[in-house]
Amino acid sequence: MPANERGLTCHGDENAIIHVDCVTHRYPDGTEGIHNMCFSVYPKEIVALCGPNGAGKSTLLEHLNGLMVPDVGRIKVFGKDVDKNNLSSVRRLVGLVFQDADSQLFSPTVMDDVMFGPLNLGLSVEEAKERAEWALGVVGISDTGKIPHNLSGGQKRLVAIAGVLAMSPKILVVDEPTGDLDPSNALKIELLLESLKAEHGISVVIALHDIDMAARLADRICIVKNGGIIAEGTPEDVLYNEALLTSAGLQLPTVARIFKSMGLESSTDERPLTIDDLTGIMHGRLAQRKA
């Protein structure tokens, strides 16, 4: 089992539905986007890739459905190597939503846009429309006759996700889906991603700057720095490691900062990640004092 230079072991896992095995990718100018990258995705999980700009998050995401191919290493999707001969089947399994929704919206109407992918798969117009209606229902878009570029930022993001869902992927890969959205639309995206796993069994890989969203949403956190994953684990373990986060240009989630500042971490095994978690602990402490 080869190990990368950070000490993380690259190994095959029969349970992984995506396995990135010590992958390096160099851009035409010689810059390495990712280096000796090891990464896996498992069924029905949400994985958050957290790291600063330029860490390699987007480059990794674009390798997961064959949009980029590695110079070194290999990538497997459902046990099969990703190569130029099977890109079509890989992209049916792994749907990619770009950070800029406008780059995915180009048809005259919302319905046309979401039908585009299924039609390219060879489905009939009726079948493609049925897929599109389902996907738009999942994301909560009802006005299907609108021109995509007249939509709000949040609506564009939802339509872009619907366009990928209409292809019936097993894995959804999403790059910074809430970075430029207001809190209301960001919450819609967060709840949608959560429901895709819970209600539809879709694994989600998401690149995030929003460490608070990662804390609330992810089953597993991967910290990305200088083109590689330097640490991974549960949100409770990774997102309470202040030295690790600082070394990667990140900071503790808001709830963790409050919890630590109150001096509670040292006196309990609990590590809250949401406001509800934190208030539950505080109510419990107050009840103990009154007893």
**Residue numbers of the domain that contains 271:** 253-291
pLDDT per residue over 107-160, tens digit each?
A: 899 999 999 999 988 899 999 999 999 999 999 998 888 898 888 888 999 999
Identify the pLDDT of residue 5: 44
Q: Are residues 208 and 283 in the same domain?
A: no
Q: Are residues 161 and 228 in the same domain?
A: yes
Tokens of 59: 């480059």
Residue 31 domain-assigned (yes or no):
yes
List the 72-77 sheet strands across, edge first: 32-41, 18-26, 72-77, 80-81
pLDDT score of 287 more than 60 = yes
3 state DSSP class of 17: coil
Q: What is the average pLDDT across 166-195?
A: 92
Q: Are residues 54 and 178 in the same domain?
A: yes
CA distance 145 to 133: 12
Q: Are residues 38 and 179 in the same domain?
A: yes
**Range 36-66 burial, b when 16+ CB lie within 10 A, else e:** bbbbbbeeebbbbbbbeeebbbbbbbbbbbb
Residue 174 domain-assigned (yes or no):
yes
Q: Are residues 220 and 265 in the same domain?
A: no
111, HSE (Cβ side, Cα atoms, 13 Å): 12
pTM of the model: 0.90
Residue 145 domain-assigned (yes or no):
yes
Q: Are residues 257 and 236 in the same domain?
A: no
pLDDT score of 93 more than 90 = yes
Q: How many domains does the chain have?
A: 2
CA distance 187 to 77: 30
Q: Are residues 211 and 260 in the same domain?
A: no
Residue 121 domain-assigned (yes or no):
yes
Q: Are residues 152 and 260 in the same domain?
A: no
Q: Are residues 133 and 233 in the same domain?
A: yes
DSSP at 9:
B
Identify the pLDDT of residue 235: 96
Q: Are residues 82 and 214 in the same domain?
A: yes
pLDDT per residue over 24-55, tens digit each?
A: 999 999 999 999 999 999 999 999 999 999 99
**Element holding 118 (H helix, E strand):** helix 110-120
Q: Are 111 and 161 in contact (CB under 8 A)?
A: no
pLDDT score of 216 more than 50 = yes
Residue 28 domain-assigned (yes or no):
yes
